[in-house]
Chain A
Amino acid sequence: MLRSISLTGRVKLGFAVVGIALGIAAPYIFDRFVIGLITLALVGGLFAQSIDLLGGYAGLITLGHAGVSGTAAYGVGYMAAKAGAGFPAQIAVGFLAGMVAALIFGVMAMRSGGVYFIMVTLAQGMIVWGLSIRLFRITGAENGLTGIPRPPGVELYWQYYYLTFAVVVLCWGMLGIVVNSPFGTSLKGLRESETRMRMLGYNTTGQKLYVFLISGFFATVSGILLVYLNGFISPSTVILAASAIGVLQAILGGIGTLVGPMIGAFIIVFVQNVVSIYVARWPTLMGALFVVVVLFARRGLVGAISDGWNRWLNRNQAPGINEPVLTSTNQPSGP
């Protein structure tokens, strides 16, 4: 069984097994502070993956996705803090709110592409932010909504960590199926040439709406996880920077992959929260890190690692041996 999988496939499988084992063992290894950060990074990573499905796979870069996850979070927050509803109703309304936001966003953005898509989604995110400040009765304006308890059974930090871990692993698996499906492959076609896609018979407008809804689903899940993790929601959850950081995480880790956005999220969460203890100017450090990655690893950290891996394979395997090697690495390196 294992023999039929390529060396690269086996290495990936190995990383997945180690990652899941580490994820299960984490509460026994790390203290409460670190587990809190890991939970935050997992939620952020799922959010960045939902952005990458649009940006990295379909070539539709969004700067307003916090508007989708934030609407879901506000839905939960309103039902919990204002309406006093039970958990099933909180989650149902949060989910519905997020998906309706994704549908409205998708319908508005689906006829655009490229820079226009970025501008439309940017405006959509700003509208949600504006509403979050204006609609005092629903959102609590600048004060936000506080005192949102976690559902029974996952109140404790490590319980909530395990819930988050399980949901993120499940979503990751689902995303893995989507990007490798016939539809996922056609998204890459959309990224490469919309003109050709139309002429082949693809309704590219419909494709964009569909992928926006799938992406919105995962953004919604991340928004619901986030609001229970923090116990509050405020306009700072839906500001432009919240959407932009998701895009940055995806680029840092490597767009067009699912593991990249997750790695990017871990790096940014840990730089923000750990390095800031020792270094006052951590945003400068993060900016510098970002510039270095963009300059020297165009395809992010995962892209750089996979290029290095393929080079190693090329060197260590005689030609003709089973391993199919990405030929892109045969290009001469350097300027």
Chain B
Amino acid sequence: MTTAVAPILHVDDVTVRFGGVTAVSGVTLQVERGARWAVIGPNGAGKTTLFKTISGEVHPTTGRVLLFGTDTSRSTPYRNAQRGLGRTYQVTELFQALTVEENLSIAAQARAPSRFASWRPLRIKGWIDERITGVLEQLHLSSERNTLVSELSHGEQRQLEIALALATEPEILLLDEPAAGLSAAERRIMRDLVEELSRDLTIVLIEHDMEIALELVEHVLVLDNGQVIAEGDPDSIRADDRVQAVYLKAD
């Protein structure tokens, strides 16, 4: 089957080597607009390296990455972000000494010309205020608007990770283990938050917790030792012997 519309993200036979170590080996992935994908696999499978290759933090040794139909194999993270890519981090990467509102105002203006405005005061009003308010409501953080990030709980910081990426209004969002370090109860909250995100937003998710990942997506890519060992819908992945073997081995 061929579609007229090019996939929003196309990872084309990508291999990434660091010295003698092959972190990602011949991975191909096509993500259609509005789709939800999970990339799962044991620790060291190459999931985060794959993300970094998509975002531009790492360049593929061979193969290509196409974002919105453009070859971005040699692009940089900020250029990809300007194109409409959002990404969160497995290890929380926030502006700790600033308030939630300041964090989001930086994110909201990241793709606006006003980010270089230096001779007028920052005023949180108009579209900036609307976007911040909207994102805070979406991530259930409205009451923490003026709190310093360093004083948020770990769970709230994980929510703010996603809020920051959303405030740039991306078209495709890479979520790197959104539930990392969360309790079982917090994981359910996070699962619901991701579930409730706009269906227009294309999402690729890395998640160590296979059950959460499989509940959230329609498509799954399973990596082991940098290679794709399975690909398909959640049910077929659950039933796949190789996936079971990898997870049993890992646990």
Q: Residues of A at under 8 Å CB distance from B?
A: 177-178, 180-186, 188-189, 191-193, 195-204, 210, 214, 324, 327-328
> Across the interface, do B117 and A327 meet the contact criterion of CB distance under 8 Å?
no
Q: Decide if A201 touches B89 in the complex (CB within 8 Å).
A: no
Pick the contact of B148: A181, A195, A328 (CB < 8 A).
A328
Q: B residues within 8 Å of A by Cβ?
A: 55, 57, 76-78, 81-82, 86-87, 89, 93-98, 102-103, 105-107, 109-111, 114-122, 146-148, 151, 164-165, 168
Q: Is the CB of A202 within 8 A of B115?
A: yes
Complex contact A198–B98 (CB within 8 A): no
List chain A residues, Cβ under 8 A from B146.
324
Name B93's closest neighbour in chain A (CB-CB).
Answer: A196
The complex places the Cα of A257 from the Cα of B81 at a distance, in Å, of 31
**A-B pairs with the 8 shortest C-beta distances?**
A201-B81, A183-B118, A192-B95, A201-B110, A200-B110, A189-B106, A198-B77, A196-B93
Shortest C-beta distance, B19 to chain A (Å), equals 22
Interchain CB contact (< 8 A) of B117 among A181, A193, A324: A181
CA distance A221 to B214 in the complex (A): 61
CA separation between A129 and B109, bound complex, in Å? 41
| Measured CA separation A193–B116 after assembly (Å) | 18
The residues of A that contact B102 with a CB separation of less than 8 Å are 185, 188
How many Å from the CB of A13 to the closest CB on chain B?
16
In the assembled complex, which residues on chain B have CB atoms less than 8 Å from the CB atom of A185? Answer: 102, 105-106, 122
Closest residue on chain A to residue B146 by CB atoms: A324
**Given the complex of chains A and B, what is the CA–CA distance between A328 and B99 in angstroms?**
11
Beta-carbon contact of A193 and B93 below 8 Å:
yes
Pair B122/A180 contact, Cβ less than 8 Å: yes
A-chain residues with CB within 8 Å of residue B93 when the two chains form the complex: 193, 195-196, 199
The minimal Cβ–Cβ distance linking A299 to chain B, given in whole angstroms, is 11
Shortest CB distance A127–B (Å): 28
Distance in angstroms from A181 CB to nearest chain B CB is 5
B94 touching A182, Cβ below 8 Å: no
Q: List chain A residues, Cβ under 8 A from B118.
A: 177-178, 181-184, 210, 214
Q: In angstroms, how far is the closest chain A Cβ from the Cβ of B12? A: 23
Residues of B within 8 A of A178 (CB): 118-119
CB-CB nearest in chain A for B102: A185
B168-A201 in contact (CB<8A) = yes
Of A182, A192, A193, A202, which one neighbours B114 at CB under 8 angstroms?
A: A182
Pairwise interchain contact A198-B81, C-beta atoms closer than 8 A: yes
In chain B, what residue has the closest Cβ to A324?
A: B146
**A183–B116 CB distance below 8 A:** yes
Q: Are A199 and B55 neighbours in the complex by a CB distance under 8 Å?
A: yes
CA separation between A197 and B120, bound complex, in Å? 21
Residues from chain A with Cβ under 8 Å of B95 in the complex: 188-189, 192-193, 196
Min Cβ gap B189→A in Å is: 23
A181 touches B122 (CB 8 A): yes
CB nearest to A178 among chain B residues:
B118
Q: A324-B146, A327-B147 are in contact. Are A180 and B121 (CB under 8 A)?
A: yes
Closest beta carbon of chain B to A135's beta carbon, Å: 34
Instruction: Evaluate whether A186 and B109 lie within 8 angstroms (CB atoms) in the complex, with A181-B120, A193-B93, A214-B118 already known.
Output: yes
Distance, CA A198 to CA B89, complexed state (A): 13
Distance of A198 Cα from B95 Cα, bound (Å):
13
Smallest beta-carbon distance B70→chain A, Å: 16
Which partner residue on chain A sits nearest B109 by CB separation?
A182
A210 and B96 within 8 A (CB)? no
Complex CA distance for A199 and B174, rounded to whole angstroms? 11
Distance in Å: Cβ of B132 to nearest Cβ of chain A? 13
Query: In the complex, A183→B86 CA distance in Å?
Result: 21
A-side contacts of B117, CB under 8 Å? 181-183
Q: List 25 A-B contacts (CB under 8 A).
A: A177-B121, A181-B117, A181-B121, A182-B105, A182-B116, A182-B117, A182-B120, A182-B122, A183-B115, A186-B106, A186-B109, A186-B115, A188-B95, A188-B102, A189-B98, A189-B103, A191-B97, A195-B89, A196-B93, A199-B78, A199-B86, A200-B106, A202-B115, A210-B118, A328-B151
- Given contacts A185-B102, A327-B151, is CB(A202)–CB(B110) below 8 Å? yes
Contact check, A196 vs B81: say whether CB atoms are below 8 A apart.
Answer: no
Cross-chain contact A204 with B78 (CB below 8 angstroms): yes
| B120: A residues at CB distance < 8 A | 177, 181-182
Complex Cα distance A199/B53, Å?
13
| B116 pairs with A210, CB closer than 8 A | yes
List of A residues within 8 angstroms of B105 by Cβ:
182, 185
The distance from the CB of B48 to the nearest CB of chain A, in whole angstroms, is: 13
List chain B residues, Cβ under 8 A from A327: 147-148, 151
Q: CA–CA, A196 to B106, complex, Å?
A: 11
With a CB–CB cut-off of 8 A, which chain B residues contact A200?
Answer: 78, 81, 106-107, 110, 164-165, 168
Q: How far is the CA of A210 from the CA of B87 in the complex (A)?
A: 26
**Given the complex, which residues of A lie within 8 Å of B57, measured CB to CB?**
199
Interface centre among A182, A191, A202, A328, by most B CB within 10 Å? A182
Complexed CA–CA distance, A196 and B92 (Å): 10
* Cβ distance A190 to chain B, nearest Cβ, rounded Å: 9
Looking across the interface, which residue of chain B has its beta carbon closest to that of A181? B118
Most chain B CB neighbours (cut-off 10 Å) among A195, A200, A324 = A200
CB contacts (< 8 Å) of A192 on chain B: these are 94-98
Which of B78, B122, B148 has a CB less than 8 Å from the CB of A201? B78
Q: For the complex formed, measure the closest distance between the CB of B146 and the CB atoms of chain A, giving whole angstroms.
A: 7
